[in-house]
Structure 1
Amino acid sequence: MTIQENLNKIQEIISDKKFLNNKGLGNEISFYIFDYDPKYEILVRKQIEKTIENLKERHGLKIKEFNLYKMLIKMLKDEDLIEVIKEMEIKEGSQEVLNAIKTFAPPETFIEQIKNESSDIDIIFITGVGQIYPFIRSHTILNKLHSVIENKPLILIYPGRYDGQKLILFNKFKDDNYYRAFPLID
């Protein structure tokens, strides 16, 4: 199937009552990964935005998109750290910026915000995975979300490959193995 056919299929899958009611998954959590070739990043971003709006309008679903990158930028802006980070990179280099941001915004910060803002949501979308790399790794977010998100579908939009076991970001960087999510599109 083409990328556009896969993107069109998302709305069909999500609007199915079985998907919304977590039927057919046994006792498994309802975490899904929509993986795609990173060369389609802009197309996927635009289409996911339209899909979310269509699902809200046509089906009355409460959907929340958590863009990890935008969340990080907001955290940095809220603490007036953008200029500090820029200066740090010039003076101390990218590795120091990476270390500082990982300390400032560990995965638990994102998990807590997602937990707090998703209690009355039907479906959670996690986006911005490629944009936030290497500050946050997607397998870390998924593993930590298991304990706080229950009984609602979560869809990770992933620029790379997922074969049901391995996550390969940008089709280049192997993330740790992750076995608990289902591919959204077979």
Structure 2
Amino acid sequence: MMANIEERLEQMELMIKKPSFRQTKGKANEVNYWVFDYAPEDELTVRNKISCLKNKNLKGADGFELMVYDLYDLMIEHLQSKNFMEKCYAQEKKRGIRKLQDAIQHTLKITDKENLLVKYIAEHTPKNAVVFLTGVGKCFPLLQAPEVFNKILYNMPQAFASVPMVLFYPGTYTEQELIIFNEYPEDNYYRAFRLVR
């Protein structure tokens, strides 16, 4: 039986503060990518804990810098900077959510070497960091977890290979399957580890 969300969040805090967590020593020396999955109804509890951890980390006693990137906020900021919001509303109304998803991913250059989310995270993340990626539930279905792994994390510059990156996932991750909101199976995924069981 899984521990309650408060217990799991406390375990997560202890894990990220271990020096060994910030070294590339995963199973078979693989990438340092993690998933903290949680019941969708625990979203506000998770957000509050992340905010508390960020505030504590600002005091500088952790030995690393906690960087929190809300993927939804980054996506919206980009669309607003290009004055694309009205176009997005019209696109969804006229052509549907799938075409809107394609258009947004195109403007973010998700499939290009110039991926704007990768560029932003790389430019704003120091080497001695732990990265939290949040907002994937708010992004769904415009940006889904497999795309976060395959198009963002796996395209990070080599200099960030040892930086632990944790995706906060409102749903279930079994290390074989992603189920957003515990309702919609996404693509199978195997190259990230569950942070807390």
Q: TM-score, normalised by structure 1?
A: 0.89
Looking at structure 2, the residues matched to 41 and 139 of structure 1 have their Cα atoms a distance apart, in angstroms, of: 20
Contact 1:18–1:24 (CA<8 Å) still a contact in 2? no
Partner of 2:39 in structure 1? Answer: 37
**Residue pair 2:130, 2:164 contacting (<8 A) in 1 also:** yes
Q: Which residue of 2 aligns with 1:152?
A: 163
Task: Answer yes or no: is 1:66 the counterpart of 2:69.
Answer: yes
1:183 corresponds to 2:194? yes
CA deviation vs aligned residue, 1:3-50 (integer Å, no higher than 9, x gap): 111112111111112112344544111111000000111111111121
| Partner residue in 1 for 2:105 | 102
Tell me if structure 1 keeps the 8 A contact 2:24–2:161.
no
For residues 147 and 99 of structure 1, the distance between their equivalents in structure 2, rounded to whole angstroms, comes to 19
Residue in 2 that maps onto 1:3: 5
Q: CA RMSD in A?
A: 2.0
- Could you say which residue in structure 1 is the equivalent of 2:123? 116
Name the amino acid aligned to 1:169: I
Query: SS at 2:172's partner residue?
Result: strand
Q: Which runs of 5+ in 1 are unaligned?
A: none
Tell me how far 1:119 sits from its aligned partner: 4.3
Distance 1:71 1:62 in 2: 19
How many pairs align? Answer: 186
Superposed displacement of residue 166, structure 1: 0.7
Post-superposition shift, 1:60? 4.2
Unmatched runs of 5 consecutive residues or more in structure 2? none
Q: Give the SS at the match of 2:142.
A: coil
Equivalent position SS for 2:67:
strand
1:138 is the counterpart of 2:145: yes
- Give the Cα–Cα distance (whole angstroms) in 1 for the partners of residues 63 and 180 of structure 2: 33
Residues 125, 154 of structure 1: 8 Å contact kept:
yes
Secondary structure of the corresponding residue to residue 171 of structure 2: strand
CA distance in 2, matches of 1:83, 1:173: 28
What is residue 28 of structure 1 aligned with on the other side? 30
Q: TM-score with structure 2 length normalisation?
A: 0.84
Local SS of the residue matching 2:50: helix
Cα distance between partner residues in 1 of 2:25 and 2:64: 17
